[in-house]
Amino acid sequence: MTYKNGIEKFIEIFKRSNLSISKFASLIQKDRRTVTSWIDNISDIEPNNDVKDRICHVFRYPDFIWDEGCSGEEFIKSITQIPQKEVRIIDEDYTGRLKYIIELEKNRRFVIQAQFPGPMYRDSAVKRVYRTKTNSEIEELKQKRIDQMLRYDYDTTEWYSIKSILSFCFASIGNFYTKEEKIRILELMYELFNNNYNKKLFLFDSFSRKIYGTETTYISINVRQKVLFFKSPIESVFIEIRNKNLVERMHKYYSSPIEAPNHVNFLESVKIIKILQDALKYNNTILQAYETINRTTDYGELFYHNLSTDLQKQVTAPKPGQKRN
């Protein structure tokens, strides 16, 4: 049935209510005779706006069910499924945001990180990078999240841009970490991700195509619950998306070797973490680290793209047969 006019919709709502005509009439504040005339298709005069508003109020339906465009399956879906907002603003204090993340990522997570390393790895290896005020509840929540992340059986898939990990290791501007702290963080991540199929680490080339946002914000995708959230440019605000198609599309984009940005697979990513750790340990430059990656892996080309034009002139060209995913 098309359910295009108000009377057809009225009849369907009455049938699904499982109420007597008298009870239904009293709820919407109309006399029994008028309701009967609509149900029996005796009257062709549509219910007025007051009746429509009362039905939406009593049965908690969205008011757009009476729109001409809401017909057929869309109408049935609107009166049988619990309405759910697809976009929600999570405006909480730091404690509230931590609780929200912990709950949504309780059993597993699939994240695109804004920068390397992720905050939990940073906070477990290096204390108080950002000089912010804190309290015992925040510290307990942060430790709870760290403990969750460090569990061997915790399921996590993480994407970092090659640019962010090279900046972490070699940048001399905007870098919070000492050499020892960098080595400690890389060592922690190597130990966690190496030979652990519960944890997958991907390094992607953000210069291989136009990828807006993935280097500036934290995106967490929960494909089972059909929800994702990301950090807004305002520090205290998260944006939650519950559009099923968008969530599945985002997850598929980063899960598919073909559709995803050019990247290092999760086995080789761990190997490269070790190469970078050794480079820092032995005071090697970014050029020396690149040469090792190019010589010992199949992903030198992706790292070559992340060098400046001047640096590219100083290194060996990527060897033939490089992989892109």
Q: Are residues 121 and 228 in the same domain?
A: yes
pLDDT of residue 302: 93
What is the tens place of the pLDDT at every residue in 184-243? 999 999 999 999 999 999 999 887 665 554 555 789 999 888 889 888 777 678 888 887
What pLDDT digit, counting tens, does each position of 63-97 carry?
Answer: 778 887 788 888 888 888 755 567 788 888 888 88
Alpha-carbon distance of 73 to 15, in angstroms, equals 16
Q: What is the CATH number of the domain that holds 141?
A: 3.30.870
Last residue of a domain, one of 80, 98, 117: 80
CATH of the domain at 59: 1.10.260
212 Ramachandran zone, left/alpha/beta (phi>0; psi -120 to 50): beta
Same domain, 119 and 267: yes
Phi-psi region of 111 (alpha: psi -120 to 50; beta: other; left: phi over 0): beta
- Asked if residue 291 belongs to a domain, the reply is yes
Percent of the chain with pLDDT over 70: 92
Considering the domain architecture, whether residues 61 and 190 belong to the same structural domain is answered as no
Q: Which of the listed residues 47, 80, 113 is the one where a domain comes to its end?
A: 80
What mean pLDDT value characterizes the chain? 86
Same domain, 53 and 195: no
- Tell me, yes or no, whether 91 and 45 share the same domain: no
How do residues 147-172 score in pLDDT, each as one tens digit? 888 889 999 999 999 999 999 999 98
Residues 287 and 182 in one domain: yes
Q: Considering its fold, how many domains does the chain have in total? A: 2
Q: Are residues 236 and 139 in the same domain?
A: yes
Give residue 129's pLDDT: 55
Q: Which of 40, 62, 80 is the last residue of a domain?
A: 80
Question: Looking at the domain assignment, is residue 277 inside a domain?
Answer: yes
Asked if 162 and 265 sit in the same domain, the reply is yes
Edge-to-edge order in the sheet of strand 237-241 = 87-91, 237-241, 227-231, 219-222, 108-112, 155-161, 199-204, 263-264
**CA pair distance 298, 314, nearest whole angstrom:** 20
pTM given for the model: 0.71
Segments forming the whole domain that contains residue 302: 87-313
Residues 157 and 15 in one domain: no
